[in-house]
Structure 1
Amino acid sequence: MLLPYVLILAKMLLKYYAWYMARRSLALGSNPRLIVGYMEQLQDGVLNCTELVSEHVPPPLILMKEDTLLVEKQPHGYSLTRMNNNGLVTLDRVWQLNVTLKSGPTTQHKDLCLSFAMFKLLRCRFARYKVSEAIFAKANNFICHVLLEDSDDERVFGVIAHELSFLNDYYYTSLPVSYSKSWLPIVSTCISLLSIGYCLLVTNNFIMESQSSESEQITCSEFHCDPPYMPQGGSSLQFGALLFDQMSLSLLVALVVLVEAREIMSYICSNWTKVALTCHYVSHTSWQQSPVIRKCVGLLLRTRCKFMVHWEDKMNQSSILVLRPRRNLVALLRHLLHLPDQKKVPRPVKAAVVDAVRRYKRTGRQTNGATHMQLHVNNLLWTSQGTKGTADVILVCHVATSILEVRSRRQNKPLSNHEIAATHISQYCAYLDAYCPELLPDDAAWCRSLYKAVNKDAARVLRSDRVSPATPEAEDQQLVKLLSEQSKHHVLKDGAELGRLLTELPEGEEVAWKALAEFWSDTLVSVAAACDNIDEHAEAVARGGELVTLLWALLAHVGSVDDDTADAAATHGAPDAV
């Protein structure tokens, strides 16, 4: 019966050994220092690169096998002392293999390796390394070409989502430390299999013994029980049932088996395993020449598991002007618990924000929507009642977008892509103002108080004279009149005026929606670029990721994130825990 204790002790010792090695590893614990030093040498041309690096050819970004390098400590990181890096697996080697070897890793797993290399670059920012963007210029140029010029919008979101999943695993799970040595996942899987086998064997033996013996839990013979308690004419007293023992043991065994099975699946289906497998495939020529190994590698790379998905491709929604609240149970619970609504990110939203990133990359600033939008409402948006903050502008435009949505709803026609993008991003920005103001460039406390004041005033106005659904043709005019005359907050008044201008736009409603879609996508990208609050983005990654955090990570890789908030960080970086 010592086997279960031996297995438990072995698992504990293996976990401790993995953590200890990860702390000292150049691939995990000290990786940001190595990446910074490596990228500086790459920028200075110190490293011998066999391929000419351009926007079409990936730079030799590090993937794995950093522990094979010989390095020395420098003021701003590690420096490679030997330029022969044949043992190091870099992104360009994976790219070249995919071009020349049809049976190698597919394009999807090439993107996964790109996500892993980008994750290592992003960790330098999370470790508070203040480095010049010129060091990452080659990587940024290639990422811009792959994600912004030569791919679809779904691919952009997929690559960044995988990158944030690596980041979440590193900071909030114990999975990455198991890859400090290549044999650790194999040993851990073997221990889990032995634990499952032992549990099943013990359960089977217990059931077999219970079937071949008495079904009672306790049997008391006449030698152990006093006569008054013995039944007349009987030689023993039996009570209890083995069913209770079987049920408790079965539940315990089921729990252990599920935990161990989940750990095995986390290794098999993990993106870390897929990247490690791809790097081993690149490093070993014998693997590439073996049809059996190629088939097994391809099978493992194609495995999927839903519980390993980090980014669920959803965006939270919040609205100030709720004219027709939903009456189902889920909506009621969300209202009672003060939770935002959640919707899947539509394809038009992805297309709009990626286009906005492209515009931001070209111009370096927000375009504030189309020209006709600027002509009609620019003064109201940016200059009325003094200088406004981002939260003011978001809420004013959110109210105006809601009014235009009320107007277009009565036409009973399919929603255009511009309308879908504008309404979803509008409600997402309102959600940021209400629930995550730390991700906005304004003061968080001020944003919360502003949203509460505007929301309270809007609820008062709608309660006092609710917009009648019986006359939909005049519903938007009635709403504008109510907000203009009865609201006390300037945000609602400005929003009503802006909504009136949009509904009366001479170019038509579709032009207004196009202007709003560009305005909202540009605003969201500008918010992502302006807020470089590392701690808040880390918390967003921990709870499953936010759309604005995903855009912030993308902008960081294309060199378009404002670094003013990071000036206090030391150049040598802060400790990066494993």
Structure 2
Amino acid sequence: MESVFPKFKHKMQKRCKRMNPEDSETQMEKIDALLAITAAVLVFIGVSGSFRRRCSNRAFAMVAFAAYTLTPALIAYTLGLIQSAQFCYVRLPVWATYLLVVLGSVDSYTAHSMEDIERWKSFKVDSAVKFILISWMIATYAVLAGPIVCILFIILFIKLDTRAQALMLASNSVMQKNYRSIADYMSTEHQWSDSSDEDPATMKGYKYLVEVADKANVHSLFSTAKWRQKAAHWLDGCAPHYRQSLEVTDEVVTIEKVWNCKGRLLSVSGGDQDGRLKDLCLSFSLFKFICLRFTGYSLPPEAHNKLWRLIQHMLSEENGYERVFRIIEVELAFLFDLFYTKYPVNLHRRRSVYRLVLLPLVVAIPVLFLYDAISYKWEIKIVESVLLTMSILVVELTQFGIIIFSEWAKVTYICKYVRNERWQRSRFVGKLIEILCRVWLVKPWGRQLRQYSLLKSYSYSPSKWIYNGLTAGYLDQKRNGQKQIARTNLSKEVKMAIARSLGKYMEKGQASLRLNGLSDEFSWACDLETTTHVIMVWHIATTFCEHEVPCAQLSQEHRDNFGIATKLSQYLAYLVAFAPRLLPGHSCRSGYIFDCAIGEAMGLLGGSSVSMEEQIQKLKEVIDNDEQCQETIVGRGARLGMQLVNGAVDKGRIWKVLADFWADILLYVAPSNETAAHAKYLTTGGEFVTHVWVLVSHAGIMRDPPGGKQYDDLERS
């Protein structure tokens, strides 16, 4: 390192204090080890952070949480060691600055949960304290404050500020302020056109906002040759409602403008033959509707009716259900990025300039270190400085690539294309944007359904070595019977079933029974005490039918219904066992009912050595002989299963009834005001019920029937 700062050598030696060489060596080894761990954590979080939204692996989630949680403490401890070191090296201020760069460096992992977002002020205070500490250390080693430290210091300041801005943007109070104007606009947007003038095919009359430029080009009053900048045209509200309105100028991009763009990029015969680029903008526009739900704003029924007509049009197309769910997938990807990443902030015009300026600086630092190491044959320990800066380089280049191919960036490219007629005439620009928009580095989500079977898992007992009173404060505790079975892929048949049931009145499965002419026989099983009762009773009955009328005996049509019924049955049972907050009723009560059902199964069916054949036989005996057990959840499920097997006209009809029922019940449980719960599960791969929640939210579908009757004793409307 003397080769980089030769003129500081004498001053360094005068400032260094004498100490035991062995103590010095030990302290250096500690610092070296901690810096190596920090570099590894930075690379892990920076590269893999964006995959949280589609990865449901429990081990990955735990490692990511540990890395996110322990990094600040690790950095604080290492800074303390560096500060208390009784020897001086040029690399110490570099290392200290590097550690704080790490704290604000990861664009794809700014927060782990919604609770972290609401503590954004604490993060700003903590960052400011660490920033002051680093400033003091650099001032102490003023002789060492070379160009490398200054560059790292600039990066440090910008990154910490960017992360603080990202957390603040996602906080509830700031979101309410930012979306107030959009709520006012969307409340009146439906009034701009009559329903007879709307055309969902061409999006005529759909002035849903895609992007409102912060700055609009306005012709100067003093010169015909000059242009000046003016803020976007949000007009103040007037009495009595005081609703803000928006002057839709050329700088405001709406869905209608995107569909009517004449450029080749968005034409069916050009770069958007499958319509996915236009649908990307539609997803971003509808994502704002979901943000309104999170901020507590509501829209009038007319606005939902207009959007419902659009959804109906899309569902009427060939494979329209695929398009609808693909649009919702991207909406939730935008929502995840808003809450848990810096992408919305980094793509702001000013922040984009910062990143472009910083990128060559970040690349130059490791290159300078590497050149110096080769030229002057550094000692081995100095190579650590190169490795540390190289870790920043790897993360920066990876995240830069993710950002330019992110959904946020793609919408920005398309909106600029729609605004700029010159770009629309350029074949090169259109092709370049098309290439950028066709690359998907991270899929929106994993498209899997988690599964649970009570009759297969009731005898499970969690390990007391892992789940006990000592670990209760650190790990989510598992209960008896709480063991998932293998996940399954979300099939097109399941999505088709949901699309077919959409629009029926939500009556906890009663509508499907009426349509199949079986309401009189089976309505008792829909009118139980709580939604949890209904799900578990029908789940046990479905498992009973799965054994008595297996898939091998069915035709292809009925096999599709078999797949729909079994997958949704085990998915709804999974929600009861593992995610009750996403269901109607209080989660604690749902958990208690689940525990009671597990206890009933253990008492009736015995331990883990009992085969499925023996379980089914015991259930049949319960129905025939034990009147008391017939009123339990397990007993009711067995009775319903026997009714289905013995009462249906043919074996195939059983699965038609069950497929329709489970599609209806999933739509019934989806409407919810528990927005935080849905946001929570976005970080662990997402849940299909969240996608259905978005769908029914857009359509304005509510769970409660006319007259305000409650179907659940503790249900939240």
Distance 1:359 1:269 in 2: 39
In the TM superposition, 1:164-179 aligns within 5 A as 164-179=332-347
Corresponding residue of 2:568: 425
Distance 2:591 2:388 in 1: 47
Corresponding residue of 2:591: 448
Q: Secondary structure at the match of 1:560?
A: coil
Report the RMSD for the aligned CA atoms in angstroms. 3.7
Q: 2:632 aligned to 470, 477, 490, which one?
A: 490
Q: Secondary structure at the match of 2:179?
A: helix
Q: 1:86 aligned to 234, 250, 257, which one?
A: 250
Contact 1:349 1:421 in 2 (8 A): yes
Partner AA of 2:278 in structure 1: K
Q: Establish whether residue 316 from structure 1 lines up as the match of residue 316 from structure 2.
A: no
Corresponding residue of 2:151: 6
Contact 1:382 1:388 in 2 (8 A): no
Contact 2:366 2:386 in 1 (8 A): no
User: TM-score, normalising length from structure 2?
Assistant: 0.64
Distance 1:550 1:261 in 2: 32
Cα displacement string for residues 534-575 of structure 1 (whole angstroms, at most 9, x for unaligned residues): 2322323344322111111111111213589xx9xxxxxxxx
Corresponding residue of 2:620: 480
Corresponding residue of 2:212: 65
Corresponding residue of 2:105: none
Distance 1:84 1:275, change over 3 A: closer
Contact 2:536 2:573 in 1 (8 A): yes
Distance 1:561 1:77, change over 3 A: farther
Distance 2:267 2:405 in 1: 26
Contact 2:497 2:660 in 1 (8 A): yes
Q: 2:183 aligned to 22, 36, 42, which one?
A: 36
Distance 1:148 1:432, change over 3 A: farther
Contact 1:314 1:344 in 2 (8 A): yes
Distance 1:323 1:484, change over 3 A: farther
Q: Secondary structure at the match of 1:56?
A: coil
Distance 2:688 2:266 in 1: 33
Q: CA deviation at 1:44?
A: 3.3
Greater RCO structure (CA 8 Å; 6+ sep): 1
Q: 2:645 aligned to 466, 479, 503, which one?
A: 503
In the TM superposition, 1:175-574 aligns within 5 A as 175-179=343-347, 181-210=348-377, 217=379, 242=380, 245-246=382-383, 248-249=384-385, 251-306=387-442, 309-322=443-456, 338=482, 340-341=484-485, 342-360=487-505, 367-369=511-513, 371-372=515-516, 374-375=518-519, 377-383=521-527, 387-409=528-550, 411=552, 416-463=559-606, 467-468=610-611, 476-481=616-621, 488=629, 490-529=632-671, 531-562=672-703
Q: CA deviation at 1:416?
A: 0.9
Distance 1:93 1:278 in 2: 11
Distance 2:600 2:423 in 1: 67
Corresponding residue of 1:157: 325
Pick which of 397-406 and 134-143 moved more. Answer: 134-143
Distance 1:41 1:425 in 2: 38
Cα displacement string for residues 238-284 of structure 1 (whole angstroms, at most 9, x for unaligned residues): xxxx2x543x3454244212221232022112100000100001111
Contact 1:398 1:426 in 2 (8 A): yes
Cα displacement string for residues 339-376 of structure 1 (whole angstroms, at most 9, x for unaligned residues): 53433212222221222224459x99851336556246
Q: CA deviation at 1:167?
A: 1.1
Q: Secondary structure at the match of 1:343?
A: strand
Distance 1:201 1:269, change over 3 A: same
Number of equivalenced pairs: 512
Distance 1:15 1:111, change over 3 A: farther
Q: 1:117 aligned to 285, 298, 308, which one?
A: 285
Distance 1:253 1:32, change over 3 A: same
Q: CA deviation at 1:116?
A: 0.4
Q: CA deviation at 1:429?
A: 0.9
Partner AA of 1:289 in structure 2: R
Distance 2:598 2:509 in 1: 30
Distance 1:376 1:512 in 2: 16
Partner AA of 1:400 in structure 2: A
Q: Secondary structure at the match of 1:129?
A: coil
Contact 1:313 1:344 in 2 (8 A): yes
Q: CA deviation at 1:501?
A: 1.5
Distance 1:411 1:195 in 2: 61
Distance 1:394 1:40, change over 3 A: closer
Distance 1:87 1:480, change over 3 A: same
Cα displacement string for residues 402-447 of structure 1 (whole angstroms, at most 9, x for unaligned residues): 1111123484777811111111111111111112212221222111
Q: CA deviation at 1:143?
A: 3.3
Partner AA of 2:569 in structure 1: S
Distance 1:150 1:282 in 2: 28
Distance 1:410 1:557 in 2: 36
In the TM superposition, 1:131-142 aligns within 5 A as 131-142=299-310
User: TM-score, normalising length from structure 1?
Assistant: 0.78
Q: CA deviation at 1:460?
A: 3.5
Q: Which runs of 5+ in 2 are unaligned?
A: 1-145, 215-231, 461-465, 468-475, 709-717
Q: Secondary structure at the match of 2:449?
A: strand
Contact 2:459 2:602 in 1 (8 A): no
Distance 2:488 2:551 in 1: 23
Q: CA deviation at 1:135?
A: 3.5
Distance 2:268 2:498 in 1: 35
Partner AA of 1:125 in structure 2: R
Q: CA deviation at 1:147?
A: 4.4
Pick which of 430-439 and 281-290 moved more. Answer: 430-439
Distance 2:161 2:370 in 1: 30
Distance 1:485 1:265, change over 3 A: farther
Q: Secondary structure at the match of 1:416?
A: helix
* Seq. identity, %: 25
Distance 1:23 1:379 in 2: 48
Corresponding residue of 1:231: none
Partner AA of 1:121 in structure 2: F
Distance 1:263 1:446, change over 3 A: same
Contact 1:484 1:496 in 2 (8 A): no
Q: CA deviation at 1:11?
A: 5.6
Contact 2:163 2:342 in 1 (8 A): no
Distance 1:209 1:37, change over 3 A: same
Partner AA of 1:382 in structure 2: C
Distance 1:561 1:255, change over 3 A: farther
Contact 1:370 1:515 in 2 (8 A): no
Partner AA of 1:544 in structure 2: G
Contact 1:39 1:135 in 2 (8 A): yes
Distance 1:18 1:478, change over 3 A: closer
Distance 2:666 2:679 in 1: 19
Pick which of 129-138 and 168-177 moved more. Answer: 129-138
Contact 1:72 1:79 in 2 (8 A): yes
Contact 2:508 2:668 in 1 (8 A): no
Corresponding residue of 1:227: none
Cα displacement string for residues 96-124 of structure 1 (whole angstroms, at most 9, x for unaligned residues): 12775743545111111111000112211
Distance 1:399 1:364 in 2: 17
